[in-house]
Structure 1
Amino acid sequence: MTTGNDTARTTIVVITWRGAQHITACLDAVATQTRAHRILVVDNASDDGTADLLAAHPSRPAVTRLPANTGYAGGLAAALPEVGTELVAWLNDDTVPRPDWLARLEDALDADPAAAAASARMESADGEPISLGVILTGRGYGSDINTDLTEPTDVFGFCGGAALLRTAELVAAGGVPARFFCYYEDTDTSWRLRLRGRSVLAVPEARVVHRHGASSRPGSREFHRWNERNRLYMLIRCAPAAVAVRECARFAALTAVLPLRRLLGGPVPAAWNFRTGLRLRVLGEVLGRLVPLARERRAVARRATVPRAAVWQVVNSTGYRS
C-alpha cells in the first residue's frame, strides 16, 4: 500500500538500496512537494540501517521490503502493481527534488496529451545539467542530454532517475523490464512507449539535484556489464531486426578482435567494457536469454501501433540521435 494524500494523481516510487547516507534528504524533499502525492519506497534488502530510517521518517512512507536486491528495474517492477494512481513518478534515492518538481511534471503532461512520460532536469549540486532526458546514438546507445533546454521539448526517452509516467500507458507498454536490474530500463520503456505512438517530454523547469553515482559506481565492472548487456537486450526487444543483429554482431566481432589487438601492441581503452572477460560474460548472458528475448520481442510487437522501422527512422532523422 502507498501512503499520502488520497486525492493525489501521482504515486512517487523511490527505489533504495543501502541508502542510509541519502534517503532521508530525498524523503525530506519529497515531503515539501507543492502537489499532492502518495509515496512508496521499495527497499532492495538494504542492510545498512536504511529500514530504520524509513520507519522513523515523519512522512511515514509506505515501504515494500524485498528479500533480495533486485536493482532499480526490479524495484520499479515490484512497485507497479501497488500503484493505483493515474501517474507514477520514478525517483532515485540519491536525489533532492525542488518543491515544484512534481507540479511541473504533472502540468507538462496535462499540456501534452500525446506524451506518456516527462523527464526532469537532473543537475549537480552546483546546478550543472546531468540529464534532461535520453537520446539514441546511431548504434543504439542511450546518451544523456546534458545541455540546457529552456522549455518542454520532445526527446527520445526519459531519464529514469526522476521522471513521471502515465501509469496506464506504462502498463499497456509491458511495464518495467525487471531483468535489466540496472540501466537502460528507462530507454527500453521509452522505446516501447514510442512504439505505441506516444511521445516523451524533457521538462527543464522540473529540477532535481542528483548525487550522481551514489547508489552505483559509474565506471565499475558491473556498471559496464549492465550497460553493454542491457543495450543489447533492449535492441533485441525493441529495435528493427537488422539493427539488433548488426549491433550484436558488432559487439561479438570487437570481442574477438580485442585480444589480437593487444597481442600486436595496438591501442585498447582501459575501461572495463573493453576487457575480453567482461565482454564474453555479456555475450553469454545475451545468448543464454535469446529464446526469452525473442518471446519478449513478439510481445512488444503485439502491443505496438507504430512499426519499429518508423521509430528508428525518427531516431536517425530528427535530432534524437547524437
Structure 2
Amino acid sequence: MDARTTVVVVTWRGRDHIAACLAALAAQTRPHRTVVVDNASDDGTAEILADAGVEVLRLPVNAGYAGGLAAVRPTTPYTAWLNDDAVPEPDWLARLEDALDARPDAAAASAHLLRPDGATQSLGVRLTADGHGYDSDETPVFGFCGGAALLRTEAVGEIPADYFCYYEDTDTAWRMRLAGWDVISVPEARVTHAHGASTAIGSERFHLWNERNRLRTLFRCAPRRVAWTQLARFAALTAVLPLRRAKPDAPNFRFRLRVRVLAEVLARVPRPRADRASRARVWREWT
C-alpha cells in the first residue's frame, strides 16, 4: 500500500522527547511519509535526527510551530500534524485515515490527546462566545487540536506562518468550515501528549502569542463586528489596567504585553478569508 499521509513533526530543542515520537511513528500500522522540521535546534536534536532515518528539513531560524508547518508542501492526499512531544498508539494514523475516508465532507479529524496520567487533554477545539479556541473533552468539536490531527491536504490552504505558535489550528479549522467542510473528532485515535514541552504554558511569550493570534484569527474568520468589538474590549481593559490598584498577576494582564499585542494586531489587520454571509453563518452555529 502506498503512503497516503505525510506526517509533519515540528521540533525545537526536542532532544528529550523526539526519539519517542519517531519510534511511535515507525510503529504505525499504515505506511506514511514522515517529515521532521527542525527549528534550528541547538541542543543535540539535529544529531538525533541524523540517525533517525527520517526526512529532515532544518530551518536556519526558529520559525515556530506555524512557520514549521508552513515550510512543508505535502503532495499526499492527507497531511498529519503531530507535536514532537506526542506519542501516538500504533493504530493512530489508520483510525484517522479510515475516519476521513468514511466522511468525504470532512476536511480534518482531531485525535484523542491524553495527558501522561491518562486524563483527556483534548478531543478537539471548541469556540467561545468571545472567540477563544480551547481544548474540549466533548464532541462534536468546532476544530481540531494541532497537536495530533489528520487534514485533507487540498483543504488546508495557507497556514498563517507569522502566528509562530498557537491558533494556527483554530484558524485552519475555521477556514475549512467557512469553505463548507466539516471537522470531526476520532476518540479512538489515541495519543499521549506531554503538552508544553517546547513552550512554557502560562509564560509571557505564551500569552503574547495566544492573545495576539486570537484577535488575528477573529479578523481573518469571524464577522468584522465581532473582531472589532473584541479588539475594542481588549484595548479598553488595557487602558484601565494602570488605574487599578488590584489586578491579576497573570502575564496577560501586564500592561506592556497587552500594548504589544495591540500594536502587532493593528500593524497589519488581517483581511477576511470568506464572504460576510459565510462568516456570520459559522459564528452563529458554533459560538
**Normalised by the size of structure 2, how large is the TM-score?**
0.97
1:98 to 89, 109, 128: 89
Quick one: percent identity of the two aligned structures? 63
Confirm whether residue 107 of structure 1 aligns to residue 107 of structure 2. no
Counterpart for residue 70 of structure 2: 77
Q: Does 1:270 align with 2:265?
A: no
Please state if 1:15 is matched with 2:22.
no
- Alpha carbons 2:5, 2:32 under 8 Å: kept: yes
Q: Partner residue of 1:169?
A: 155
Partner of 2:286: 315
Matches of 2:276 and 2:176, distance apart in 1: 10
CA distance in 2, matches of 1:157, 1:252: 27
SS at match of 2:184: strand
Q: Which residue does the alignment assign to 1:281?
A: 260
TM-aligned CA distance change 1:56 to 1:196, over 3 Å: same
Partner of 1:141: 132
Q: Choose which of 29, 35, 43 in structure 2 pairs with 1:40.
A: 35
Give deviations 1:91-144, integer Å, cap 9, x for gaps: 000010000000110111111111100000110122100111000110000111
| Distance of 2:228 and 2:187 partners within structure 1 | 36
Deviations 1:169-189 (A, max 9, x none): 11xxx3211000000000001
CA contact (8 A) 2:223 2:276 kept: no
Distance in 2 (CA, whole Å) between partners of 1:244 and 1:200 is: 23
Cα deviation, residue 271, structure 1? 0.6
Determine helix, strand or coil for the equivalent of 2:7: strand
- In structure 2, give the amino acid aligned to 1:116: A
Q: Please tell me whether residue 119 in structure 1 is matched to residue 98 in structure 2.
A: no
Could you tell me how far apart the structure 2 residues matched to 1:229 and 1:305 are?
23
1:86 equivalenced with 2:65 (yes/no): no
Q: For structure 1, which runs of at least 5 residues remain unmatched after alignment?
A: 148-152, 317-322
Residue number among 47, 50, 56 corresponding to 1:55 in the alignment: 50
1:173-231, Cα deviation, whole Å (9 max, x unpaired): x3211000000000001110000000111111000000111011000000000000000
Deviation at 1:269, TM superposition (A): 1.2
In structure 2, the residue matched to 1:245 is 228
The residue aligned with 2:201 is: 218
How many residues were matched structurally?
287
Query: What is the RMSD of the two structures over their aligned residues, measured on CA atoms?
Result: 1.3
Match of 1:320 in 2: none
Is contact 1:195-1:306 (8 Å) kept? no
Aligned residue type for 1:183 = Y
Could you tell me how far apart the structure 1 residues matched to 2:248 and 2:173 are? 30
Letter in 1 for 2:141: V
Give ranges in structure 2 of 5+ residues lacking alignment. Answer: none
| AA matched with 1:313 | R
- Report 1:171-190 matches (<5 A): 174-190=157-173
Q: Is the counterpart of residue 229 in structure 1 residue 220 in structure 2? A: no
CA contact (8 A) 2:123 2:141 kept: no
